A = this chain, B = another copy of it.
C-alpha cells in the first residue's frame, strides 16, 4: 500500500514498486480529493494533462487501481505500507497503519522519537533492533521506519566509513540542493531559481545535523525495554541552499578525523563500504553504495545522479582537510534526492528488514 500515492514522492514509490520481485502494488491511497477515481484518472489535472514526475510513464498495472482516501483505508490483505505523505498527515496516519503492519516512510514526523530508528541501508543495520522497543512501547504489531531527510542520506552514508576507519570529530557541510526535493505543489518557483540561488531551506539544516548524529550513533541497551540510540558526539554544522538543478543534491563536506586519514585509505574505505549489505543481494541494492571519482570536475548532478540507478552516492574531489584540525579530509558528494534519498531508499530498507526478520 502506498500513502500519498499521487504526490511526487508517492509516484516514486509506485514507480519503484512496479516490477519489484518481492513486493507488489496492492492499494493506493491519497487525499479525499483524489479518492474514488482510478490512479490513472487521479494523475491527470482538470485539462487531462498527465502529472507524472517519476520518470518515463506510470506503470500500466497502476493505472486502473482505485485511489482510496487514506483516512478510510485499512490494512486488510496488506503486508506493508510505504508512506509519502506530509509530516502532519503522517503523524495521524502512520501509527494507525503501524498498529498492524510495517510502515516505511519518507516523512519526518517520527524520525526524532526515541523509539524510532532512522535507518540508512549499509550504515546502521543494528539500529533496527529499536523496532522491537517501539513495538513493545506502542503496542504495534507493525512499526514505523522513517528514512532520513534526503540531504542527510549522502552525508551520513559517506561519513560512516570515514568514522569507522579514522574516527570523526567535526563536520562542516554546505549543500546545493535540487528543486525536486521540494515537490511540486507549489514546490520551487521558477522565478526563485532562474539566475539565482535560495540560501535557506526552512528546517533542513537542523534535520541534517540531528539525523546525522542519530544515524551514526550507537544503539545501546540490552533489553527491548531499555534500548535507545545514543547520538554520535560529533559537531555537525550545515548551510543548505537551493539551486537550479532538477535532481541530485551536491554537498561540499569538510571533516576533521581523529586519526590521520591518508587519501588513498579514505578512498579505499569509501569504495569498500557496504560489502555486508551487498552480500545480501537485495533487489534495490546497487553494485556500489559509494563510488569515488578521480576526475576533479566530478561529481556533477546531471552526469552522476543516476549512478547505480540513483542508489549510489558519488564522491569526488577528495583532498586533505587541515583547517579543522590536524587530520581530516574534504570532498564533494552527490546523492540522488528522490531515489536513494526517498522512495527507493525506503524500499531498500524494507528489503533489508524483511531479510533480517522484522516482518514477513
Contacts and interface: CB of A to CB of B under 8 A. Distances in A.
A196 B302 contact: yes
Interface residues of A, number: 60
A178 to B, nearest CB: 9
A176 interface: yes
Contacts of A330: 237, 239
A236 interface: yes
Interface stretch (A129-137, A183-191, A275-283): A183-191
B184 A191 contact: yes
Interface in A236-290: 236-237, 239, 241, 243-246, 250, 252, 254
Contacts of A317: 199-200, 239
Given A189-B187, A323-B172, A323-B237, A245 B50 contact: no
Among A176, A197, A322, max chain B CB count under 10 A is at: A197
Contacts of A50: 295
Contacts of A299: 199
B323 A236 contact: yes
Contacts of A246: 191, 194-195, 302
Given A188-B191, A194-B194, A200-B297, 6 more contacts: A176-B197, A189-B189, A190-B244, A195-B302, A196-B301, A239-B330
Given A194-B194, A237-B323, A300 B199 contact: yes
Interface in A164-212: 170-172, 174, 176, 179-180, 184-200, 202
Interface of A: 47-50, 53, 170-172, 174, 176, 179-180, 184-200, 202, 235-237, 239, 241, 243-246, 250, 252, 254, 294-303, 316-317, 321-324, 330, 332
B245 A195 contact: yes
Contact of A295 (B49, B184, B254): B49
A248 to B, nearest CB: 9
Nearest to A199: B332
23 contacts: A47-B202, A48-B295, A176-B197, A176-B243, A185-B186, A186-B186, A187-B191, A188-B191, A189-B189, A190-B190, A193-B194, A194-B244, A194-B302, A196-B301, A197-B245, A197-B300, A199-B250, A199-B298, A199-B300, A235-B322, A239-B330, A243-B243, A243-B244
